[in-house]
A = this chain, B = another copy of it.
Amino acid sequence: MDSELIYIPTLADMLIAHERIKPYVHRTPVLTSSFINKLTGAELFFKCENLQKAGAFKARGASNAVFGLTDQQAANGVATHSSGNHGTCLSYAAGRRGIPCTVVMPHTAPQAKKDAVKGYGGRVVECEPSTSSREAVFAKVVAETGAEFVHPYNDHRVIAGQGTCSKELNEQVTGLDAVIAPIGGGGMVSGTCLTLSNLAPSVKIYAAEPEQADDAYRSFKAGHIIADDAPVTVADGLKVPLKDLTWHFVRNHVTDILTASEDEIVEAMKLIWKRMKIVMEPSSAVPLATILKNPEIFAGQRVGVIITGGNVDLDKLPWQ
């Protein structure tokens, strides 16, 4: 996988991204809960990307990719494959720029996800729920439209965009000891590494992953990428594997990867809803689940916790 040259985004790329995307994203608030602090013995600062445009941090990376295109590059629009927040957020960003956006997703994806893409003006093209079908359909879309491919996470423009989240967090909270974010493909964690390794190198970076989709954890311990085929977890944003670019950041800058069980994730999710009064996805609860499970690591520390998104089906909550 290292046979091709890859471009590693730099601090400058992240700073440029932040200026570029400011008109299109929120500087999201940081919330605290004295109840949860008492429970964990740590001081937790929740960076609320569930309150981000389109309901997820992925609006940052998608906006950076879309608004970084020249007019000529943008003319044919953008395309991606994603049945999650990246598709919705790419559609949002393209809609703001006024260019076409095509999202390839399996016909089995929830109607709400398809509607979300369409709601921002994007087009949904359905494929079979297999990697081969997705790749074939996506190649056809790109061939027909000439659209610019924006990968959900293994893209330097996307990682630079995601890095703007922890830039804000580091400005909003002084004296952070650690930051923890959920890890799936590693886009948010990579952006966090990019930013903090440059701007606040003493801050430790942790990644949190479901036990049932712990390929990043096993990759980290093994020293090379391990990709699972189709992990099953309530944290449906975290099923995808690391790729070369995100592996670069995880390998070099992450202190540790912690895991939590399905029950622990749902419990932490409900705790946040109940005590902090915010709607967030199961994926976003994984960091708190791992903090509750490993209090000795975080006790007495000031910890940034990234709440990555809030797009959840209110009719199918995981505790019901």
* Chain B, Cβ-Cβ closest to A313: B274
* Chain B, Cβ-Cβ closest to A269: B314
Interface string of A298-320 (1 = CB under 8 A from B): 00000000000010001101011
| A85 interface contact, C-beta 8 A | no
A277/B278 in contact, CB under 8 A:
yes
A39 to chain B, nearest CB (A): 12
Contacts of A63 in B (CB 8 A): none
Contacts of A232 in B (CB 8 A): none
Pick the contact of A279: B29, B55, B273 (CB < 8 A): B273
Interface size on A, residues (CB 8 A): 20
| A31 interface contact, C-beta 8 A | yes
A314/B274 in contact, CB under 8 A:
yes
| A51 interface contact, C-beta 8 A | yes
Please measure, in the bound complex, the distance between the C-alpha atom of A273 and the C-alpha atom of B277, giving whole angstroms: 10
For A50, A277, A319, the residue with the greatest tally of chain B CB atoms inside 10 Å of its CB is: A277
Q: A314-B319, A319-B314 are in contact. Are A277 and B55 (CB under 8 A)?
A: yes
| A270 interface contact, C-beta 8 A | yes
Q: A29-B29, A315-B319 are in contact. Are A310 and B51 (CB under 8 A)?
A: no
Interface string of A234-278 (1 = CB under 8 A from B): 000000000000000000000000000000000000100110111
Stoichiometry (number of copies): 2
Please measure, in the bound complex, the distance between the C-alpha atom of A279 and the C-alpha atom of B310, giving whole angstroms: 11
| A280 interface contact, C-beta 8 A | yes
* Chain B, Cβ-Cβ closest to A281: B277
A22 to chain B, nearest CB (A): 16
A89 to chain B, nearest CB (A): 14
B51/A270 in contact, CB under 8 A:
no
A189 to chain B, nearest CB (A): 22
Contacts of A278 in B (CB 8 A): 277-279
Please measure, in the bound complex, the distance between the C-alpha atom of A276 and the C-alpha atom of B310, giving whole angstroms: 9
For A51, A270, A280, A319, the residue with the greatest tally of chain B CB atoms inside 10 Å of its CB is: A51
Please measure, in the bound complex, the distance between the C-alpha atom of A96 and the C-alpha atom of B214, giving whole angstroms: 43
* Chain B, Cβ-Cβ closest to A35: B119
Contacts of A273 in B (CB 8 A): 279, 314
Please measure, in the bound complex, the distance between the C-alpha atom of A31 and the C-alpha atom of B48, giving whole angstroms: 12
A320/B315 in contact, CB under 8 A:
yes
Please measure, in the bound complex, the distance between the C-alpha atom of A274 and the C-alpha atom of B119, giving whole angstroms: 14
Q: Which 4 A-B pairs have the closest CB atoms?
A: A277-B310, A277-B279, A50-B277, A273-B279
Chain A residues engaging chain B, CB cutoff 8 angstroms: 29, 31, 48, 50-51, 55, 270, 273-274, 276-280, 310, 314-315, 317, 319-320
Beyond A51-B276, A317-B317, 19 extra complex contacts between A and B, CB < 8 Å: A29-B29, A31-B51, A48-B277, A50-B277, A55-B277, A270-B314, A273-B279, A274-B314, A277-B278, A277-B280, A277-B310, A278-B278, A278-B279, A279-B279, A314-B317, A314-B319, A315-B319, A315-B320, A320-B320
